[in-house]
Amino acid sequence: MKRFLSFFIFVLITASMDPGLSAQEASVVKPNIVFILADDLGINGLHCYGNEYVESPHIDRLFSEGMHFTNGYSSDPTCAPSRASIMTGQYVPRHEIYRVVDRYKSQPATLQHMKYLPPERHREHGQVGLALDEVTLAEALKANGYRTAGFGKWHLGRKQLGMEHQGFDESLEVIGHFAFKSFPIQVDRPDSMYSSDFITQMGIASMQKAVRNDIPFFIYLPYYLVHKPLEPKPEYLQHFRDKCGDEKIFSEEDMAVLAMIKSLDDNVGQVLDAIMELGIEQETIVLFVSDNGHYKTESELFNKPYRGFKGQTYEGGIRVPYIFKWPGKIAAGSRSSEPIIHMDIYPTLLGLTGSQPVPGHVIDGEDFSPVLLGKRNAMKRDYLVWQYTNYARYNPKQQSFASKWVNVIQQDGYKMTEDVETGKYFLYDLNADPYETNEISARDPEKVLELVKSLNAWKAETGAKAPRPNPDYTGKD
């Protein structure tokens, strides 16, 4: 009981704190922003995106009330690089958060079979994380009169590199589901409390605080759901056991994920209800995105019909849901097939809110607010690029890596992968073959050469680091 009371005292105290903003800042009239980021939610992880087994009525409502994208991408098939691209509006070579961890350094067999060493991740204050001299999305919005808050999974550095030092007026990082940990302080709460419920309460309290002070807000809610460990609420797991346990398609793993998506949907519903109760729906932008594709499950229920999963640059590893709502501005029930990517979110939110970028900060993303607002149907850029440098788990029997350094470019629906280890190129035509079943590089060598030229131009423009010879390479099993 004492821990339970301590938790609610903590919430009440944070909800009553004044942000200490100037009268000039408080007088700025701009739409509020609520940015909901799911973790490892695949393109087929929502009912509204076509999965009949998923229960996501609140996200489905958001889907019906706004615009959704059918060709929305993560900037990387894993979370930290994608989150860095969201926060900076930049390609991976600029922000230098190349990987979540350097798995190859603790895997001797992997290291000795790598011809090249990938670029090192950015380090500062003795740890890996987002550089403090980067201008984050939170910092850019704060410079334009917003009160900023973030609650959930940061994953871009702790201590000196934590959210509280990256432009957020109020923040708390949360890791895990039950018995979760929080940074920079470990908050008291009931042991049975789910982390997503906790950060939802924190987000709603922060909204209430900003509304009381009549200041536009940016609230970032990067949920830990549906990332592993598989820890569903018991009652929701039982719900899916009762509902569909007899169907052969469902494993216990599938039902656990379905239960966790249902919890995420509950939290989204609570946020949407709070916005309505506060009377700010018309002046609030809500966006819902995932950080990367779904992790591999036995049935691949949450990635199908696309090929691949988290940790791979096939479509199933990088294609994610995108939903934007702004009543009266973004047409309800609208959709776009334009290819967009995480780094576009930064300039798009600046565009939607009439905010100015901070001078000197390079933004690689494109503002697609004209598409959202119905002023234009197409993006201006020529191509999208992914640089994935995650060497891991060499298999001597198969003589292959579970993942390795690849550069990927997509232009006009053609998607080419450069295998850095072998120097080979692989080509798919997503227009005719969205599920990547037919490799066509031999059939269309001219398209390969065209895309290689564009990829090389991208490398030069972003300052992408060239592969370094690996002194530990032996090539022997």
Q: Residue 18: its pLDDT value, please?
A: 44
* Higher pLDDT pick, 162 / 245: 162
Query: What element of type H or E holds 28?
Result: none
In this structure, the strands spanning 72-73 and 340-341 are parallel
Task: Assess contact for 42 and 292: CB atoms under 8 A.
Answer: no
Q: Return residue ranges of the chain for CATH 3.30.1120.10.
A: 385-469
Using a cut of 0.75, tell me whether the model's pTM lies above it.
yes
Task: Assess contact for 190 and 11: CB atoms under 8 A.
Answer: no
CATH architecture of 2-382: 3-Layer(aba) Sandwich (3.40)
Q: Return residue ranges of the chain for CATH 3.40.720.10.
A: 2-382
Q: Residue 192: its pLDDT value, please?
A: 87
DSSP for 96-127, written as a single string:
----S--GGGG-HHHHHT-SEEPPPPPEETTE
* Fold topology of 385-469: Arylsulfatase, C-terminal domain (3.30.1120)
- The average pLDDT across 355-360 equals 95
**pLDDT at residue 459 is higher than 50:** yes
Digit-coded pLDDT (tens) for 11-63: 443 444 444 444 333 344 799 999 999 999 999 999 999 999 999 999 999 99
305 cis-preceded (ω within 30 degrees of 0): yes
Helix segments in 128-244, DSSP class H? 137-142, 195-212, 234-244
Digit-coded pLDDT (tens) for 283-338: 999 999 999 999 999 889 999 899 999 999 999 999 999 999 999 999 999 999 99
**pLDDT at residue 265 is higher than 70:** yes
Digit-coded pLDDT (tens) for 68-77: 999 999 999 9
| Confidence category of residue 134, pLDDT binned at 50, 70, 90 | very high
Q: Residue 259: its pLDDT value, please?
A: 97
| Token pair recorded at residue 105 | 């350094």
Digit-coded pLDDT (tens) for 65-106: 999 999 999 999 999 999 999 999 999 999 999 999 999 999
Give the chain's mean pLDDT.
Answer: 92
Q: Residue 17: its pLDDT value, please?
A: 41
